[in-house]
Structure 1
Amino acid sequence: MYLGIDCGTQGTKALVLDPVGGRVLGQGSAPHDLLSGDGGRREQDPAQWVEALCLATAQALAEAGVDGQQVRGVGVSGQQHGLVLLDRHGQVLRPAKLWCDTESSAQNQRLLDHLGGTQGSLDRLGVAIAPGYTVSKLLWTLEEHPEVFRQIARILLPHDYLNFWLTGRACSEYGDASGTGYFNVRQRQWDLQMLRDIDPAGRLQQALPTLIEPRQAVGTLLPDVARRLGLNPQARVSSGGGDNMMGAIGTGNIQPGVVTMSLGSSGTVYAFSDQPRVSVEPEVATFCSSTGGWLPLICTMNLTNVTRAVRDLFALSLEAFNRQVEMAPIGAEGVLMLPFLNGERVPALPHATGSLLGLTPGNLTAANLCRAAVEGTTFGLRYGLDLLRSAGLSSQSIRLIGGGARSAAWRQMVADIMNTDITCPREAEAAALGAAIQAAWCDNVAELPALCERCVHLEDSLAARPVPAHVQAYEQVYLQYRHHIRALG
């Protein structure tokens, strides 16, 4: 048996996988709190991730009816870009700044200017650093918390930190490292000069984790950790990866031709590539995959956070919100939402704020506002998919995951706006599943394609196909969205 862990923004999920039978036997989850503040601060306490991991693991084992001693491997997926700083004793120095934190936007711009702008960043790193990437958080820490900076002994990403807690080893793999802003995705190695430019004394480069290959194990569980989790102390912890990289494995997106779209706190679209084809579009991040290739990706910073805000505004349950969405027509009777509550990465509008356009006395209804929230966030994904398509990506069908994929109305909307067939994996927790599959691969249960074939199942009842009349209607609304985006640029 193999345990997959996914540490996301809203909580931690765990599942127990039988890779031979290709079945998920049990699942568990535990929530996280978000520390928010003025200026775009979005942080979390890593101790809460550990507690959530323990709770979710216990639930998954109990639901599976599996003795933890039967677990042979553990894989960890984590939210990308977060910064976890440890002192020389391995203690966390301050709350982790998350992917959605934009407090270091000014530092990011200065670093981007230092690299020669977006083209200079693409030439040097293979990605254009953006607000939310890890590197600007390091410069922010130096400038805002110099006493913390002086104590840095380890720089870890969220999934790296959980692997460190599990094994005592500080390692990172290429996929998650790709989103730091101090990693060269073409050469698959740290850009040490980038860190020396921030800290000429060299403290940062000395604090980097060891880079390992995707199929390498970080190590086995620490004895105390194994006892606390009730797991086999010989269980191997795989390299793990970022949530998008593990979501790719969990949807069978490990070879060219498959596209994954995630409707979560953020929205992502990505596809496997066997070559580092760096796009000329800076909003496309040509990250490495956690399977030995690359994973060209776009990420929007506003998705279910927006729909949740509208739900809270009207005190609606998820079911009631979905009913409101279905009551309104395509285009929400002229109401258009630009849903940039956290600024935005795709389109590249880091300083934008959310806005509602086209309001009249006749269309100001809860149903129209609910639908406008879903349409506006989905248009951002269409904008990103257009960028990927222009870079040569083929998207005959999309594998849809994330919380939003559970909504029939949203699935149909994605099919219509993207003009592409939609399928959904049976297992909704694709990142946790991908982490468990990677752990089995690392333990040599089978080769990765065979494991994905065995463990990733598509659910025919959750499929959606574009309706030509809907496609045409949405195209007109999307053109209005693009018009307003250009005005903001």
Structure 2
Amino acid sequence: MANQQLFLGIDCGTQGTKALILDALSGQVLGQGAAAHSMISGANGRREQDTQQWLDAFTQATHQALAAAGVDGQAILGIGVSGQQHGLVLLDDQGQVLRPAKLWCDTETTPENDRLLTHLGGEDGSLERLGVVIAPGYTVSKLLWTREQHPQVFERIASVLLPHDFLNYWLTGRHCSEYGDASGTGYFNVRTRQWDVPLLQHIDPSGRLQAALPELIEAHQPVGRILPAIAQHLGINPDAVVASGGGDNMMGAIGTGNIQPGVITMSLGSSGTVYAYAAEPTVSPQPSVATFCSSSGGWLPLICTMNLTNATGAIRELLDLDIDAFNALVVQAPIGAEGVSMLPFLNGERVPALPHATGSLLGLTTTNLTRANLCRAVVEGTTFGLRYGLDLLRANGLKAQSIRLIGGGSKSPVWRQIVADIMDTTVICTEQSEAAALGAAIQAAWCHSGQQDGLAELCERCVKLDPASETRPVAAHVAASQQAYERYRQHVATL
């Protein structure tokens, strides 16, 4: 059919890979596919993945999406890849992967991160030099860890890539990076958009790491065309263009139309994120705010909480509830859960900045210890963390008329109302919940078009809001939620 322009969007996450086929002319998503990954977990917070799993899942999800869409892969004009941020993939001079990829959720490199932070002059020094405060999940501490723990591997490094850079390399044979995902490495200056080479020389004076850096390209620039053998393997047009791609948050921004000031994207996933587009790199003095670059040519101030659906899931499991029963109990309890507060810091926490915190239940009495109050308290507690982060972004000049909700938690009308009331802002879901895969497909269409200014028009056409999901704050709820939030702030202050 000549009146279609088909693009493949891929989102390679921690749990699995999703693929989606977008017709950029009609703005319709025609078909989707998914395949799971497993994690390598070890002592000291080790979290790694075998990169071959990503390639297998990429292939499987793509075949599924093409079949579901009922389209011929030869009609695909371009591919965009979204990837989990901060992960480290090391290649030798033959392009072979040297060891499993260390992931964003890996905390084994905390001591290395602490030493690098001291070298940078603490949080203030890191903010001044890089525009972000390096955290244990970032890529930079993984390099120092590799040098110290695996010196034989380190000696053979010829290329240092992020997960989405690695997938682009597999597709095209080219080593590239774009500003958005590069912002999360910890050796990239988000203001000047350049690698911080002296920091890598501090880790290894030989210059090996500097030589292994990928080339930086602009968001609207394609990496190149797909390799013929990979095109055949995927069943895709060998002339397909591979877009610059980006980190999952950057692609989620594009997939929610968050490419100009005024929109906030909030993701209710296993972790929670809140981010908004900025035209200038106004770096917040708050270490918790990461002023990353966007993958649409601007900046993307962002906060990330470590605990969200993992905490609600833990309470559901404890009380043996399915999602409907859990939501029914949340509704039964009043706002503030009759004084029951949960600080849901099961994994430590990034926002508020309490890396060594544990979870706690507070305010329990003989009368308020009910299943309904426990369910309500965990949803409120996790949402208060996002409110805390949103307040940090607002303090840095962010203004927003509405919040676009994505992620698993956004499917719950109960949770949407709680978010609207706690944030005192209208929330709405996008029709397409796989925002990162959609954003990657839209970016592929943008890179294919060759128009530097065509992104807004594409988002207008391809990002659809779900009017049925629109949820407005209720004045009485807002006041009660504010009281409960102040109680949460008091509890956090004692930690």
2:464 to 452, 457, 468: 457
Distance 1:308 1:91, change over 3 A: farther
Question: What is the CA distance between 1:373 and its match in structure 2?
Answer: 2.0
Residue by residue over 1:176-234, the C-alpha shift from the partner in whole angstroms, topping out at 9 and shown as x without a partner, is 00011000001101000111111111111111111111111111112221111111111
Would you say the 8 A contact 1:131–1:350 is kept in 2? no
| CA–CA distance in structure 1, aligned partners of residues 101 and 361 of structure 2 | 32
Residue matched to 2:410: 405
Kindly report which structure 2 residues correspond to 1:114-133, keeping only aligned pairs within 5 A, or say none: 114-133=119-138
Would you say the 8 A contact 2:90–2:98 is kept in 1? yes
| CA–CA distance in structure 1, aligned partners of residues 116 and 420 of structure 2 | 38
Distance 1:347 1:474, change over 3 A: same
2:274 partner SS: strand
Question: What is the CA distance between 1:167 and its match in structure 2?
Answer: 1.3
Question: What is the CA distance between 1:142 and its match in structure 2?
Answer: 1.8
1:72 partner SS: strand
2:491 partner SS: helix
Residue matched to 1:387: 392
Would you say the 8 A contact 1:2–1:71 is kept in 2? yes
| CA–CA distance in structure 2, aligned partners of residues 443 and 86 of structure 1 | 28
1:452 partner SS: helix
Would you say the 8 A contact 1:9–1:265 is kept in 2? no
Distance 1:168 1:319, change over 3 A: farther
Would you say the 8 A contact 2:219–2:296 is kept in 1? yes
Would you say the 8 A contact 1:40–1:342 is kept in 2? no
Distance 1:370 1:42, change over 3 A: farther
| CA–CA distance in structure 1, aligned partners of residues 425 and 91 of structure 2 | 45
Residue matched to 1:105: 110
Question: What is the CA distance between 1:387 and its match in structure 2?
Answer: 0.2
Residue matched to 2:89: 84
Kindly report which structure 2 residues correspond to 1:423-434, keeping only aligned pairs within 5 A, or say none: 423-434=428-439
Would you say the 8 A contact 2:90–2:158 is kept in 1? yes
Question: What is the CA distance between 1:445 and its match in structure 2?
Answer: 7.2
Question: What is the CA distance between 1:21 and its match in structure 2?
Answer: 0.7
1:226 to 202, 227, 231: 231
Question: What is the CA distance between 1:31 and its match in structure 2?
Answer: 1.8
Partner AA of 1:163 in structure 2: N
2:44 partner SS: coil
1:139 and 2:144 are equivalent in the alignment: yes
1:58 and 2:49 are equivalent in the alignment: no
253-262 or 96-105: which moved more?
Answer: 96-105
Residue matched to 1:443: 448
Question: What is the CA distance between 1:442 and its match in structure 2?
Answer: 0.2
Partner AA of 1:464 in structure 2: T
Residue matched to 2:34: 29
| CA–CA distance in structure 2, aligned partners of residues 346 and 483 of structure 1 | 15
Question: What is the CA distance between 1:22 and its match in structure 2?
Answer: 0.9
| CA–CA distance in structure 1, aligned partners of residues 283 and 182 of structure 2 | 16
Distance 1:329 1:46, change over 3 A: farther
Distance 1:252 1:137, change over 3 A: same
Residue matched to 2:263: 258
Partner AA of 1:481 in structure 2: Y
Residue by residue over 1:82-118, the C-alpha shift from the partner in whole angstroms, topping out at 9 and shown as x without a partner, is 1112222222222222112222112111111111111
Residue matched to 2:365: 360
Partner AA of 2:84 in structure 1: Q
2:19 to 14, 17, 36: 14
| CA–CA distance in structure 1, aligned partners of residues 180 and 236 of structure 2 | 27
248-257 or 80-89: which moved more?
Answer: 80-89
Kindly report which structure 2 residues correspond to 1:367-378, keeping only aligned pairs within 5 A, or say none: 367-378=372-383
1:443 partner SS: helix
Residue matched to 2:481: 474
Residue matched to 2:153: 148
| CA–CA distance in structure 1, aligned partners of residues 248 and 78 of structure 2 | 18
| CA–CA distance in structure 2, aligned partners of residues 70 and 141 of structure 1 | 42
Question: What is the CA distance between 1:175 and its match in structure 2?
Answer: 0.2
Kindly report which structure 2 residues correspond to 1:69-80, keeping only aligned pairs within 5 A, or say none: 69-80=74-85
Residue matched to 1:179: 184
| CA–CA distance in structure 2, aligned partners of residues 431 and 63 of structure 1 | 19
Query: Once superposed, what is the RMSD of the aligned Cα atoms?
Result: 1.5
Residue matched to 2:220: 215
Residue by residue over 1:48-70, the C-alpha shift from the partner in whole angstroms, topping out at 9 and shown as x without a partner, is 11111111111111111111000
Would you say the 8 A contact 2:220–2:450 is kept in 1? no
Question: What is the CA distance between 1:310 and its match in structure 2?
Answer: 2.6
TM-score normalized by the length of structure 1? 0.97
| CA–CA distance in structure 2, aligned partners of residues 315 and 141 of structure 1 | 42
Partner AA of 2:331 in structure 1: E
Question: What is the CA distance between 1:323 and its match in structure 2?
Answer: 2.7
1:247 and 2:252 are equivalent in the alignment: yes
Residue matched to 1:204: 209
Question: What is the CA distance between 1:359 and its match in structure 2?
Answer: 2.9
2:467 partner SS: strand
84-93 or 386-395: which moved more?
Answer: 84-93
Residue matched to 1:483: 490
| CA–CA distance in structure 2, aligned partners of residues 359 and 147 of structure 1 | 54
Distance 1:389 1:63, change over 3 A: same
| CA–CA distance in structure 1, aligned partners of residues 59 and 375 of structure 2 | 36
| CA–CA distance in structure 1, aligned partners of residues 358 and 275 of structure 2 | 26
| CA–CA distance in structure 2, aligned partners of residues 166 and 354 of structure 1 | 43
Residue by residue over 1:114-169, the C-alpha shift from the partner in whole angstroms, topping out at 9 and shown as x without a partner, is 11111111111111112211111111222222222222221111111111111111
| CA–CA distance in structure 2, aligned partners of residues 311 and 93 of structure 1 | 40
Question: What is the CA distance between 1:307 and its match in structure 2?
Answer: 2.1
| CA–CA distance in structure 2, aligned partners of residues 196 and 10 of structure 1 | 34
- Same amino acid, percent of matched pairs: 71
| CA–CA distance in structure 2, aligned partners of residues 210 and 398 of structure 1 | 35
Residue matched to 1:297: 302
TM-score normalized by the length of structure 2? 0.96
| CA–CA distance in structure 1, aligned partners of residues 369 and 233 of structure 2 | 53
| CA–CA distance in structure 1, aligned partners of residues 463 and 41 of structure 2 | 36
Would you say the 8 A contact 2:249–2:436 is kept in 1? yes
Would you say the 8 A contact 2:127–2:287 is kept in 1? yes
Would you say the 8 A contact 1:78–1:241 is kept in 2? yes
2:242 partner SS: strand
Residue matched to 2:285: 280
Would you say the 8 A contact 1:100–1:342 is kept in 2? no
Would you say the 8 A contact 1:271–1:296 is kept in 2? yes
2:342 to 315, 333, 337: 337
Partner AA of 1:64 in structure 2: A
434-443 or 257-266: which moved more?
Answer: 257-266
Would you say the 8 A contact 1:18–1:24 is kept in 2? yes
Distance 1:35 1:481, change over 3 A: farther
| CA–CA distance in structure 1, aligned partners of residues 262 and 228 of structure 2 | 43
